[in-house]
Structure 1
């Protein structure tokens, strides 16, 4: 299951409601398993999830969820899950624009695009908070807004809008994945901005030594404690792990111990 990821992030011992977890995915790796494990944790604790799917589809998350022990379609029908598939909304907006010449949703000015998306998210979150507690807002993947032609400045503004929900909705937590490609300055700026405001940063990358049959990649976890005095030994709790992605579970372990776990 996902328990080894929960332990690595420390959320098995510490409540992550009210916190922002940033998942920084470097090119050549896939950090989506972290999002799936966090969704599983929230669902298994009788919470709710608002999924903003910019990269992977809702069907993808449903398929992974069945392997982790839950059914997203059934949970959506019961009011535990709200879903925003941005690409489907874009398609509908484009068709509307072509038919009647109107600007809709993400079309038009960039600042209006991110503001409209945020208002939609806010509406879904308020609906979930009224029915279920706690709630996790999961965004996959923030850097895809850059691919849609939205400037990094506006994407960072969108991030700040979403982070402001943590103040207005005390039962909310926020999970944001962003992709980072080597040489892409905008993606690096976006990732730096996200990690700067995160309570927990999870960096997923490939192995520096190349591929391995026993190890899928590396995962670095940094905790920042904003509510405590700055103490050299406690300001950053940094842990480096290796992980192995299997069909129905994820194994997380200390570097060099893979052979003893397989």
Structure 2
């Protein structure tokens, strides 16, 4: 009954574009770490840290048995320090993330990091809208990136931290092969259930199917189960 993320998702060979709408108070990280750990076994991972630092990712990964510093030194992992660029932009030392200059510089930075058969992770693209970029600019940026990734026979994951979905998150979700939605429990906190997660899959004909689960974050794993079937209920 209790499943891992891998067990629920099944075969992923043909999945090119993943997206996550995080409507919780910061729980989306477990999906980022799942995809980092899974993909580092087979390919290079390009991590665009718009929200979290490399130190944060490394500290969490160590608990899960992954040494990201070693992976970075061996060039299996490449990290873009978005927080540093945001700081430099704030104090007027560079212009990469200024809305008046668009997202061309960021696109070039990411495209220079990408390689064939790699996995790109964009950590919280909502940061760009907070900096003043319009929904249209962010959508076109992601669309252009997804075409580049597809042309390199690679895949990408983009996460959004937003309590209320809007037109941008709707459009991105409709263009994703698999779209996750993560929510806190509406009934409050529980030691047995961390939150709710929905998995929306796009079919060959363009329609979507939806699977609803609850999940529990454990020290080194995540358990998924149908709503109402946690150990507390059983």
TM-score, normalising length: structure 2 = 0.90
Match of 2:218 among 213, 222, 246: 246
Residue 177 of structure 1, CA deviation: 0.4
Q: 1:190 to 1:261 in 2, by over 3 A?
A: same
CA gap of 1:14–1:140, structure 2 versus 1, over 3 A, is closer
Correspondences of 1:49-198 after superposition (within 5 Å) = 49-94=45-90, 97=92, 104-107=95-98, 109-111=100-102, 114-126=103-115, 129=116, 134-170=117-153, 172-182=154-164, 188-198=166-176
Cα drift, residue 86 of structure 1: 1.1
- Corresponding residue for residue 43 of structure 2: 47
- In structure 2, how many angstroms separate the alpha carbons of the residues matched to 1:83 and 1:119? 14
CA distance 1:71–1:16, shift in 2 (3 Å): farther
| Alignment CA distance shift 1:244-1:143 (3 Å) | same
State the Cα distance separating 1:190 from its structure 2 match. Answer: 2.0
Asked if the contact 2:49–2:122 (Cα under 8 Å) also holds between the matched residues in 1, the reply is: yes
- Preserved contact between residue 29 and residue 217 of structure 1 (Cα < 8 Å): no
Matched residue, 1:257? 229
The structure carrying a bigger helix percent of its residues is 1
Q: CA deviation at 1:139?
A: 0.4
Displacement, 1:151?
Answer: 1.5
Contact 1:27 1:181 in 2 (8 A): yes
1:72 touches 1:81 (CA, 8 Å); kept in 2?
yes
Q: Deviations over 1:163-187 (max 9, x none)?
A: 11133211x10000001223xxxx6
Give a deviation string over 1:116-161, Cα, whole Å, max 9, x none: 10110000003xx3xxxx3110001011111111121111121112
Three-state SS of the structure 1 residue aligned to 2:35 is helix
The answer to whether the aligner puts 1:209 opposite 2:187 as a matched pair is yes
Contact 2:179 2:200 in 1 (8 A): yes
Partner of 1:159, secondary structure, is helix
Of 24, 29, 32, the match for 2:29 = 32
Equivalent pairs, count:
232
Shift of 1:94: 4.8
Taking structure 1 as the reference length, the TM-score comes to 0.81
* Aligned alpha-carbon RMSD (Å): 2.2
Largest Rg, 1 or 2:
1
Instruction: Work out the CA distance in 1 between the residues paired with 2:177 and 2:47.
Output: 20
SS of residue in 1 equivalent to 2:166: helix
Structure 2: which 5+ runs fail to align?
Answer: none
2:206 pairs with 1:237? no
